[in-house]
Amino acid sequence: MNRRNILWSAVSSLGAMYAVRGAKAATATNASDKLKVAYHLNDAEKVNFVLGNIRNHIDGVGGPEHVTIALVIHGPALKAFHSARANPDVSKRIGDFSRDGVELAACGNTMKAQNVTLKDLLPGFVSAERGGVVRLAELQAQGYLYLRP
């Protein structure tokens, strides 16, 4: 075998090795490979838009088992999730997200300012006791990608 053939064989072997490694990475499905995304919502007029984005995100990746999503809500947007005034579409979407494993975090500071407790919000919410922006920072430190539609 001449030098050119030896070199070509070595380069081909390396290429095949990287191709197999890339294919394994592309098909990995364990929990640590799931994309983690934190959605930030504080504008009341964007509630339906953000909820639509989350639904499209879950559907676009093939279901909730392929993504971990957290929705952090503070400011005026939280009023849309008060049980007493939530419209039926928002209530249904929040119920679906809760069943899909989406973390629904309400800012503790906003809850105090609006004089509401978790019991006053739609089912499925948890309190971001130290604040919505603190929770967003914590999620980012855990590797979540930050989206503010």
Question: How large is the average pLDDT for residues 100-126?
Answer: 97
87, 65: one domain: yes
Domain of 63, in residue numbers: 34-147
Question: How large is the average pLDDT for residues 22-45?
Answer: 73
22, 62: one domain: no
110, 41: one domain: yes
101, 55: one domain: yes
Number of domains in the chain: 2
Q: Which residues contact 106 (CB under 8 A, 6 or more apart)?
A: 73, 74, 78, 81, 118, 121, 125, 126, 127, 128, 132
- Is the predicted pLDDT of residue 48 greater than 80, yes or no? yes
22, 74: one domain: no
- Would you state the pLDDT for residue 33? 76
23, 85: one domain: no
How many whole angstroms separate alpha carbon 84 and alpha carbon 86?
A: 6
Structural tokens at position 44: 């009341």
68, amino acid identity: T
